[in-house]
């Protein structure tokens, strides 16, 4: 096997070199900074040594991998490579200059791959006399643990190059997913739905960031809430990426960020790395905020009236409340002493109350789709009386399940964010950036979602996702909510979103 060159020996470059050496390839390291390649080799050796000490790698295998990592002092030291992977600073001109210089050094059959996460592979390749051998090979951090790599073909990348890079990724033990050269490629593109919609909800004053995080983590099953995630990655990284992808798609409304992040970044509220972001941190650990005054337990309502517009959801909620000893008002219209509970999907609490002819002062909405067993979300109308709001919170929290109370919002929190994620993924499939299977696999591995976004849509039902998006579009008049053609056609046909096309 020909050696593999890695240019750039920062955290990503070191990770790529480590997995390359462990897979049996000779890994030649070059960095423009004097001594950096040798330091990287020593760091890789230390990491492999730790793996051997923990029994995750046999000692002989570790020593052999270490021996295959070799620093070179000049770029010309990569002349024998069959593949060179670039992992330098995210600067288009710097990458173009590097690839142009490499062309004069390596053999004609040597492949050139960029690990860029946000720049155009086609634009990088344009600096080369033979752009057909240039492709994207985007690893995720930390490379040894994140077993996924995006293989991206630029406009002029030759098909045989992609096949060789797919084979290389598999030999590293990584899952290669093919993607077209579009802003954000596949994983970062698909990830636009989560944080941007959560920020939109926050900017509308629907709930504070802690509440949004609680709902999306506990009720929707995400490992981290969106604001916890922003603090982890740092706004100095996340905010420019959001802006870049939005601008590269010529201000696509689905990816529109809010001014909030730019303001917080300017204020130095970057997250863990600065000691304060959406949360406060000390020694890298989150500091618990002062305890909020506990909401007083309110007397349970004498009767609870539940909307029957969704009979299946009503039956679930009625069973839950009867198990807690509540008295259900079974009339078509509520008694004057009943708490009114509506179960909207593509409506807000206000619209649901008005359309049913209810007293909005004693009406609350419940998210019956997400979190009934883990975290219940109640939504008030602008005029819901505090005593009825508190009574509802006590009622739905009686079994020990936490309750979050939010202000009126079309689509609550979890349904609204999940459907936005699904819609973005549907449009990725519509544009043929990647196959439905690769979209879901890549997002699960790259972003840690418990389900792929298209599978999330299938779990809800394409028709239901479409109904909520059309409701949001009509309510706000904002094209960010326009449904993808992939979603609309499959909802009309009753076809799963994960079904590929020939």
DSSP codes, 109-140: T-EEEE--SSS-HHHHHTTSS-GGGEEEEEE-
Can you list the positions of beta strands (E) in 2-82? 4-7, 27-30, 69-71
Supply the residues annotated as catalytic: 117, 138, 150, 188
CB 23 within 8 A of CB 172: yes
DSSP helix/strand/coil, 29: strand
Distance, CA of 342 to CA of 346 (rounded, Å): 12
437, 441, 443, 449 alpha-carbon torsion, rounded to 10°? 120
Measured distance CA(179)–CA(448) in Å, rounded: 19
Give the angle 484-242-6 at the CA atoms, nearest 5°: 110
3-state SS of 388-428 is: HHHHHHHHHCCCCCCEEEECCCCCCCHHHHHHHHHHHHHHH
Distance, in Å, from the CA atom of 341 to the CA atom of 343, rounded to the nearest integer, reads 7
SS3 304: strand
How far apart CA 318 and CA 309 sit, in angstroms, is 13
Instruction: Give the phi and the psi of residue 16 in degrees, each rounded to 5.
Output: -65, -45
Cβ atoms < 10 Å from Cβ of 23: 19
Cα separation, 344 vs 339, in Å, equals 16
Q: Distance between CA 99 and CA 96 in Å, rounded?
A: 5
Structure tokens at 249: 């798609």
| Contact predicate 362/388, CB 8 Å | yes
Collapsed DSSP state (helix, strand, coil) of residue 455:
helix
Rounded Cα–Cα distance for residues 120 and 487 (Å): 27
How far is Cα 420 from Cα 468, in angstroms, rounded to an integer?
10
């Amino acid at each position: 096997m020909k050696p593999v060159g890695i240019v750039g020996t920062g955290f990503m470059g070191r990770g790529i070199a480590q997995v390359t050496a462990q897979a049996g390839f000779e890994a030649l390291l070059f960095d423009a900074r004097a001594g950096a390649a040798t330091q990287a080799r020593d760091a890789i050796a230390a990491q492999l040594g730790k793996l051997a000490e923990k029994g995750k790698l046999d000692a002989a295998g570790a020593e052999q991998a270490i021996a295959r990592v070799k620093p070179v002092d000049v770029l010309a030291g990569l002349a024998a490579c069959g593949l060179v992977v670039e992992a330098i600073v995210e600067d288009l001109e710097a990458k173009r200059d590097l690839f142009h210089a490499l062309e004069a050094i390596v053999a004609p059959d040597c492949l050139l791959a960029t690990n860029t996460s946000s720049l155009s592979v086609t634009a990088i390749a344009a600096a080369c006399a033979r752009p057909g051998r240039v492709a994207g090979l985007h690893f995720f951090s930390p490379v040894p643990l994140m077993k996924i790599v995006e293989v991206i073909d630029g406009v002029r990348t030759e098909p045989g190059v992609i096949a060789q890079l797919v084979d290389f990724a598999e030999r590293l033990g990584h899952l290669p997913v093919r993607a077209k050269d579009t802003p954000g490629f596949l994983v970062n593109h698909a990830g636009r739905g989560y944080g941007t919609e959560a920020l939109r909800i926050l900017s509308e004053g629907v709930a504070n960031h802690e509440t949004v995080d609680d709902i999306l983590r506990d009720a929707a099953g995400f490992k981290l809430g969106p604001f916890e995630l922003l603090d982890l990655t740092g706004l100095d990284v996340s905010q420019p990426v959001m802006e870049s992808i939005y601008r590269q798609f010529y201000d696509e409304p689905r990816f529109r960020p809010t001014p909030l992040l730019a303001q917080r970044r300017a204020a130095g509220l970057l997250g863990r790395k600065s000691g304060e972001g959406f949360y406060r941190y000390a020694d890298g650990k989150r500091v618990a905020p002062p305890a909020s005054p506990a909401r007083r337990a309110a007397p349970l309502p004498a009767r609870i009236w539940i909307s029957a517009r969704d009979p299946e959801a009503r039956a679930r909620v009625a069973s839950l409340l009867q198990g807690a000893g509540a008295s259900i008002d079974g009339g078509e219209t509520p008694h004057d002493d009943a708490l009114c509970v509506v179960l909207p999907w593509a409506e807000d609490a206000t619209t649901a109350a008005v359309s049913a002819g209810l007293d909005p002062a004693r009406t609350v909405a419940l998210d019956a789709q997400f979190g009934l067993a883990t975290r219940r979300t109640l939504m008030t109308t602008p005029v819901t009386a505090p005593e009825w709001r508190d009574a509802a919170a006590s009622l739905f929290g009686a079994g020990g399940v936490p309750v979050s109370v939010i202000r009126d919002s079309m689509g609550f929190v979890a349904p609204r964010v999940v459907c936005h994620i699904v819609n973005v993924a549907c449009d990725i499939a519509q544009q043929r950036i990647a196959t439905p299977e690769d979209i879901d696999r890549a997002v699960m591995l790259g972003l840690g979602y418990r389900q792929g976004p298209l599978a999330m849509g299938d779990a809800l039902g394409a028709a239901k996702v479409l109904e909520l998006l059309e409701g949001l579009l009509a309510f706000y008049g904002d094209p960010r909510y326009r449904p993808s053609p992939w979603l609309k056609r499959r909802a009309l046909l009753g076809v799963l979103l994960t079904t590929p096309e020939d």
